[in-house]
Structure formats: structure tokens, C-alpha cells
Amino acid sequence: MSRLPRLRFGLIGLGAFGAFCRPHLERLGPVAGHDPAWPGSDSLAEAASRDIVVLAVPVARLAEAARAIAPHLRPGAVVVELCSLKTRPLATLRALLPRHVRVLGLHPLFGPQSARDGIVGLRVVVDPSGGAAARLAARLLHRLGLAVVWMTAEEHDQQMAWVQGLTHLLARLVQGLDMPELPHRTRSFDRLMDALGMVSQDSEALFRTITEENPFMPEVKARLLAGAEALLRAPADQGEDTLAA
């Protein structure tokens, strides 16, 4: 296998996920990080002129970030988006960025909380439509010990509507139950709470992105609501049938 080239990285967005990503990117090459909320960060021009520019920004700010970096991108650069959605963010970048750059969609299937003990073996979705850029990304991800999952943008959004959307909806529903103190718990209950707790600290913006902007979420919501209504009606319906018999 040929040696990987020496690459320089730009990181746009130094929030929770950007700050989490930075030390891992620094294992691959020098990183210039920019965030307008961090006065001491590198300039936008410096970060956006690197070989690989990673956008660690919410979906709602992606178009703004794309317009900001566009004048500084060098020909042949790879622009990577890490959004929880793929179809719309990729379409946005391809519409707003110059044609002399390559756009790539990645989605780490973990976050700072679920990866607090390390990232080795964790999975990252890579959109194969990125071509050579996607193959380069796969090699870099393997170097970090990550597992690559090849998935088109549409396949990704279809699956994440269930994997992320359903989890976030259930977590928000449970949070709203205002449960009393429960000192005597079963193992299955604890596991349920642990699973929902992994997403309970996510921002409101991320919750809205996952549950409202994924084009496949309406089907998930409809099926969840229909299933819940059928389940809650079932005992009463069965009782009426028994009495009628």
C-alpha cells in the first residue's frame, strides 16, 4: 500500500464535536481550527486554505459556513461535512462551493459521550460518491483505528431516521414523563436508561435536525404513533371482545 501524503487539516467549528475531533485529526497532520466564538482560534482564511477542510457545524449553519470558506478554498481541496443527515447537506455544499473542490460526506456513528473511552473500532459512514476523496478518507480513518461503513447519502438518511430519529424521540418522551425516584430498578430498565441517556445531553439544534429535517422521519413518526395507539388500545379492545363473546 502506498504511503499517505502529508496532509494539513482545517477544522471549522470548535464546539463539542469539533473540540472532540481535533486531537484525533492532529494524529494525522497539523490542524488549523477556526470558530468565531473562540477569539484565539486560527483565522478563517488559514483554516479554509488547508488540504482537507472539516466542517463541524450544525446543519442550520452549513450554508453560512460554506459561503464563508468558499473564497479561501484551494483547488483540489477536500471539504468534509459531518452532519447527522447526508442528502440535504451534501446538496447544499455542492451548490455553494466552487467546482475546483471535492465534497465528501462522513458521519461518525458516535459522539463525545459514547466515545469517551476511545474511538478504536467505532464506525464512520462514508459516502462513496466522494470517489478518490472517499477512498483517501477511508485510509485515514483506518489509521485512527475506526471502522468504515460505505453507504450512500439516501441509504444513510433512511437508516438514521430509525437509528437516530427513533432513539431521540423516545429519549425526549421519557424525559417528559417526570418519573418519580426509582430506587429499585431492574437491569433491563437500567440498560434502557443508559441507552437513552447517551442522547439526552445532545443539543436542541441536533434534536431538531435529526427528528425534523431528515426526509424519512415522517414515516418513522407515523409508524411510532400508530404503534403506540394500537398498543394502548389493545387491552380495552380485547376486553370488549371477550364480554361480547
130 occurs within a structural domain:
yes
CA–CA distances in Å: residue 108 to residues 121, 127, 188 = 12, 12, 27
Instruction: Please indicate, yes or no, whether residues 79 and 99 belong to a single structural domain of this protein.
Output: yes
173 within some domain: yes
User: Residues 182, 230: one domain?
Assistant: yes
| pLDDT above 90 coverage of the chain, percent | 78
Are 47 and 110 found together in one domain? yes
Task: Decide which of 98, 119, 151 is a domain's last residue.
Answer: 151
Q: Are residues 100 and 176 in the same domain?
A: no
Do residues 27 and 124 share a domain?
Answer: yes
CATH of the domain at 18: 3.40.50.720
Domain total of the chain? 2
**Burial call 11-32: b when 16+ CB within 10 Å, e when fewer:** bbbbebbbbbbbebbeebbebb
The domain boundary residue, chosen from 122, 151, 180: 151
Same domain, 137 and 225: no
Residues 13 and 128 grouped into a single domain = yes
Cell of 160: 438514521
User: What is the pLDDT, as a whole number, of residue 39?
Assistant: 86
Same domain? 132 vs 171? no
What's the confidence (pLDDT) of residue 245?
43
pLDDT score of 238: 57
Q: Residue 183 and residue 171: Cα distance in Å, rounded?
A: 20
The pLDDT tens digits of the residues spanning 36-55 come to: 998 899 999 999 999 999 99
3-class DSSP state for residue 83? coil
Q: Look-up: residue for cell 459561503?
A: 67
Enclosing domain of residue 201: 155-236
**Strands 123-126, 52-55: pairing kind:** unpaired
pLDDT for position 237: 53
Q: Give the whole-angstrom CA distance, residue 11 versus residue 229.
A: 45
Q: Which residues of the chain have pLDDT under 50?
A: 242-245
Predicted local confidence at residue 241, as pLDDT: 52
d(CA 238, CA 245): 11
pLDDT value for 236: 58
135 & 84 share domain = yes
Contact indicator for 22, 14 with CB cutoff of 8 Å: yes
136 with 159, same domain: the answer is: no
Domain-located, residue 230: yes
Say yes or no: 49 and 170 in one domain. no
- Does 204 reside within a domain? yes
